[in-house]
Copies of this chain bind each other. A is one copy, B any other.
Amino acid sequence: MSDELIITPIGGLGEIGKNMMALELGEDIIIVDCGVMFPEGDMLGIDLVLPDFAFLMAKADRIRGIVLTHGHEDHIGALPYFLRNVNVPIYGSDLTLGLVKVRLKEHKMLSVADLHQVEMGDRVQLGAFEVEFFSVNHSIPEGMGLVIRTPLGPVVHSGDFKFDYTPVQGRSADFAKLAELGGEGVFVLLADSTNADSPGFTPSERVVSEAFSEVFSEAAGRVIVVTFASLVSRVQQVVDAAVRHGRKVAVTGFSMEKNTDMAQELGYLKIPEGTLIKIDDIGKLADDKVTILATGSQGEPSAALARMAAGRHAHVSVRAGDTVVLSAHPIPGNEEMVGRIINRLFQRGANVITDQMLPVHVSGHAGQEEEKLLLAMTRPRYFVPIHGELRHLHMHARTAMEMGVPRDNVFVVENGYQLHFTAERGWVGERMPGGYVFVDGAGVGDIGPSVMRNRAALAEAGAVAVAVLMDRETGLVIGEPDLVSRGFIYLPEFGSVIDGARDVLMKDLEGARPLGRGAIANRVRAVLARYFHEQTGRNPVILPLVLTSPA
């Protein structure tokens, strides 16, 4: 029993094993990453999505620690929610823990967390697992892969990775370690599949520097660069380009300010004295001396870019002569919002540069050729593609099989399925209950699929609320019903539909036998649903209310 390894990717329908994974061996459990997912288009009103780790809580006392691969939100953002349930030691690099601290502080949980800083090459014993950290490249410094040593052999977890021979910060991925592991014999390889549909190699982060140089040389006015706040090395490249071209840098956007402060303190971001200026001081400089670094590359309506584009930003309105650089690529689902903001920027006379025109952004994930290189170096017995949606996993699996990993040794599973491995074999086991937990306003987990379905129905055709009065003695409806609608039809013109509904309802209830409150509500709903559909072809959500006459 203690020689059975169980690997479980945790989460809902999105990317598999991206936000969180659990590895179990006998009495010991370790967790890799603890991040959030950003809500998809049909998760109406949802702020954040957490992986549902409830099934782990029954064996919480066996969790030996959480190991973090890097500091992006989708790998660390759920920590404040997890630690409320179980407080276990957390291991990560200097920068990763710096970002964790920012998050924990916001949740007022910094003092309770048990944080352990690790360096590349460090080994940590967590129960039966020995975890060694090695360097990989990603769009944030200190991306780490993991060698998780077990009695069955080493499990290699790639983290979010690409191979960058000329990284802007830090070192290249640790090829020596990977090749050494290949010689040793890797038992299971868990590898990032995000770009499994992209042929070739992902370009080096260095090409972005060259693109920035071109943009900065040609810009006559202000340069506004928008990117993810966590892309610390990208921020460094913006600063470097600004300095080279004699410009100052102002930062705007909550997370951009927080993260650049932190990265500067920890020494990951090197900004020459006097380069950084306050955002409200940009007006004191000539336009061609100003660089603005901002959030909002995904079109988020409340982020700095959207506010600057709409004239709702306190200090910056985009205007003719500005050059706006979108140093990021829209995440699927955000294309429409991003496109609209670009429209507005052009409308204001700005010159807009996207990654379609110049390489002002490159991906942080391996392309197919890098995936092959990792497979060739590690030569795993079992291969489990992770970090990507199901289609990416299948494409990555195909690549592995083409490279000689036997079909039966490749496992494509969805989140929640447990993969079992013994010295003899590997197989897909049961699915753990759970999926997503939604965070909406102050509530965590109080929104389920039924609430979401109701929101979708409300979005589709609006709501009509109806109140009727029931006689306490006779159980009959008395007086006139009251109706009010929202999001259904435009009332000034279609008051007649509501008047008609009142008539139909009164006529129906007039002759009715005594019904009781529940039966009256059901009848009201049925009569109105039919009437509204006939009249308008729409299906508004009907909310019936039944009051009882006073005794």
Does B450 lie within 8 Å of A490, measured CB to CB?
Answer: yes
Interface centre among A467, A469, A488 (most CB of B within 10 A): A467
Contact of A550 among B537, B543, B549 (CB under 8 A): B549
Question: What chain B residues lie within 8 Å of A347 (beta carbons)?
Answer: 390, 414
A432-470 at interface with B (beta carbon < 8 Å):
440-443, 446-448, 450-452, 454-463, 465-469
Question: What chain B residues lie within 8 Å of A345 (beta carbons)?
Answer: 391
Does A538 lie within 8 Å of B346, measured CB to CB?
Answer: no
Chain A residues bordering chain B, tally (CB within 8 A): 81
Does B336 lie within 8 Å of A463, measured CB to CB?
Answer: no
Contact of A465 among B454, B545, B548 (CB under 8 A): B545
Q: Decide if the interface of chain A is mainly helix, strand, loop or mixed.
A: mixed
Min Cβ gap A74→B in Å is 16
Query: Whose C-beta in chain B lies nearest to the C-beta of A448?
Result: B490
Does A536 lie within 8 Å of B459, measured CB to CB?
Answer: no
Contact of A454 among B13, B390, B391, B487 (CB under 8 A): B487
Whether a CB of chain B sits under 8 angstroms from the CB of A489 is yes
Q: Say whether, besides A456-B459, A458-B459, A458-B463, A538 and B45 are in contact (CB < 8 Å).
A: yes
Copies of this chain, how many?
2
Query: Whose C-beta in chain B lies nearest to the C-beta of A544?
Result: B484
Q: Say whether, besides A391-B343, A442-B537, A458-B458, A548 and B479 are in contact (CB < 8 Å).
A: yes
Q: How far is the CA of A360 from the CA of B448 in the complex (A)?
A: 40
Does B346 lie within 8 Å of A394, measured CB to CB?
Answer: yes
Q: How far is the CA of A339 from the CA of B535 in the complex (A)?
A: 37
Q: Say whether, besides A336-B41, A543-B486, A455 and B451 are in contact (CB < 8 Å).
A: no
Whether a CB of chain B sits under 8 angstroms from the CB of A271 is no
Does A390 lie within 8 Å of B440, measured CB to CB?
Answer: no
Min Cβ gap A12→B in Å is 12
Interface centre among A440, A462, A535, A536 (most CB of B within 10 A): A462
A482-531 at interface with B (beta carbon < 8 Å):
482-484, 486-490, 493-494
Query: Whose C-beta in chain B lies nearest to the C-beta of A534?
Result: B442
Contact of A467 among B455, B479, B545 (CB under 8 A): B545
Min Cβ gap A169→B in Å is 30
Whether a CB of chain B sits under 8 angstroms from the CB of A113 is no
Whether a CB of chain B sits under 8 angstroms from the CB of A303 is no
Question: What chain B residues lie within 8 Å of A391 (beta carbons)?
Answer: 339, 342-343, 345-346, 352
Q: Say whether, besides A40-B336, A45-B459, A456-B459, A543 and B465 are in contact (CB < 8 Å).
A: yes
Scan A327-349; emit 1 where CB is below 8 A from any B CB, else 0: 00000110111011011111100
Question: What chain B residues lie within 8 Å of A335 (beta carbons)?
Answer: 332-333, 335
Query: Whose C-beta in chain B lies nearest to the C-beta of A493?
Result: B446
Does B462 lie within 8 Å of A459, measured CB to CB?
Answer: no
Question: What chain B residues lie within 8 Å of A545 (beta carbons)?
Answer: 465-467, 482-484, 545
A310-369 at interface with B (beta carbon < 8 Å):
332-333, 335-337, 339-340, 342-347, 352, 354, 356-357
Q: How far is the CA of A498 from the CA of B484 in the complex (A)?
A: 20
Question: What chain B residues lie within 8 Å of A536 (beta carbons)?
Answer: 440-443
Instruction: Across the A-B interface, give the 10 residue pairs with the lowest CB-CB distance, nearest first.
Output: A441-B537, A442-B537, A465-B465, A467-B467, A454-B487, A459-B459, A458-B458, A467-B545, A455-B487, A343-B390
Instruction: Give the B-binding residues of A (Cβ under 8 A).
Output: 13, 40-41, 44-45, 197-198, 332-333, 335-337, 339-340, 342-347, 352, 354, 356-357, 389-391, 393-394, 414, 440-443, 446-448, 450-452, 454-463, 465-469, 478-479, 481-484, 486-490, 493-494, 535-538, 541, 543-550
